Amino acid sequence: MTETELHRLTEDGRRLVGESFMEGEATLTEEQLNEYVEPMPGNPTADLDRIDSAVQQVLEQYPEYDTAIDGALAEEIHRGLDITRRTAGDPGLWHWLAVVRYPDLVRHRWEYRSEEAMREKFLGAGSDLYSNAIHRLWWIAQLTSRQDDYSTTDAVFANQTMVNKVFDRWFARYQPAVRAMCDELAGESSRVIDETTRRFNHALTNVQLEGLSEAEASEMIEQIVVESR
């Protein structure tokens, strides 16, 4: 395993990302990018070779815009990027990964529907879990895995309604609640997922989220799922 030093795209570098680049009609040369790429503070490293080969495989084996790509890559990206949450909190890292390292993957997974939507896939990140194409996979895996066990992660990505409804909420930042939610909702219909997340979000105006253990959250959600069916 070889470790590669991680970089970040500076804020000014975001302006390199134009319509033609996002559509895949233009590429950014190393010369253009150099000025806007800098090392991450603390010089973290990661096993990008592992991610490179996983991405290569996905590009070859999955049709364009296939949502199954998410499940196929999330674990590999999370294992390859063994970084702290602090490092992962820097949007510049995700911009570098999406714009410089894996733009083909972003375009392969996400159809270009509007400049605005595509911009989010390349340049989202920060507190919005659901935005940047790679950031989203890493964070969802981070929040749903248990050491080497990615079964919850796989279950989430098997159902895009779950990805949408759970990870677009604030409570998705709290690991015990999000794991409990994903486990309880596995196999439920879209309607139940929708109603359960809505009711849980409403109940959290009475119950302090961060005071819940995973078991307490599970008990609460289990009951809500029953009422939502």
Partner 1 sequence: MDQEQIQITEAAKWFFFSGGPGAPRYGDDPTKHAVDHDSEAFVREVIQNANDQGLQNDDPVEVTFRFVALTGDEKEEFLKGLGWENGLGERMRSVADTHNGHRYERVVERVNDPDAELRLLIIEDRNTTGLTGSWDEDSNYAALVRDELYSSKQDDTAGGSYGLGKSVLWTFSGASTVVFNSHLAHGERESDSPRLIARSKFPTHQLPADDTTYQGAGWLCQPIETDDGPRPESFWGEGASRLAEQLHVERPAVNGTSAMVVEFQDPTRDERPDVEELAQEFVDASVKYFWPAIYRGDLEITVETPDETLTADVENAPAIRPFVEAYEKRTTDAQTLVTPGDVAGLDIPVKLPPRADGSETPAGSVRLSARLASPADDDSYLNNVALFRGAGMVVKYYDQSRVAYGDRNFFGVLAAGEARPEGAPSESDREIDRFLRFAEPPEHDEWESTENLREQYQRGFRMALDDMFGTLRDGLRHLISKGNNSESLSDNVLNRFPIHGSGNPRATTSPAETVFEIDSSSRFDGDAWTISGRIKVLPEEFGGWSADISLTGVGEDGSQYDDIPIKHVKIEQAGVTASYDDGRAHLVADEYVDEVSFSGRSHPNETADLVHGDVGATQLEIFAELQTPEEDQS
Total residues at interface with partner 1 (CB under 8 A): 36
Phi/psi at 121 (5° precision): -65, -35
Should residue 199 be labelled a site residue for partner 1 when binding is judged by CB under 8 A?
yes
**CB under 8 A: which stretch of 62-70, 137-145, 168-176, 180-188 binds partner 1?**
168-176
What is the distance between the alpha carbons of residues 162 and 188, in angstroms, rounded to a whole number?
A: 9
Residue 149, strand partner residues: 146
**DSSP assignment letter at 101:** I
**Which residues are within 8 A (CB) of 191 and not within 5 positions of it... i.e. 6 or more apart?**
228
Should residue 113 be labelled a site residue for partner 1 when binding is judged by CB under 8 A?
no
Should residue 204 be labelled a site residue for partner 1 when binding is judged by CB under 8 A?
yes
Should residue 9 be labelled a site residue for partner 1 when binding is judged by CB under 8 A?
no
CB 133 within 8 A of CB 110: yes
Which residue's CB is nearer to partner 1, number 84 or number 206? 206
**Which residues are within 8 A (CB) of 132 and not within 5 positions of it... i.e. 6 or more apart?**
91, 94, 95, 98, 120, 121, 122, 123, 124, 125
**CB under 8 A: which stretch of 60-68, 76-84, 122-130, 150-158 binds partner 1?**
122-130
**CB under 8 A: which stretch of 28-36, 47-55, 152-160, 199-207 binds partner 1?**
199-207
CB 61 within 8 A of CB 18: no
Binding mask 41-60 for partner 1 (x = CB under 8 A): --------------------
Contact with partner 1 (CB under 8 A): which of 57, 65, 170, 191? 170
Amino acid at 209: L
Q: Residues interacting with partner 1, by CB under 8 A?
A: 11, 14-15, 19, 91, 115-116, 119-120, 122-128, 131-132, 169-171, 198-207, 209, 220, 223-224, 227
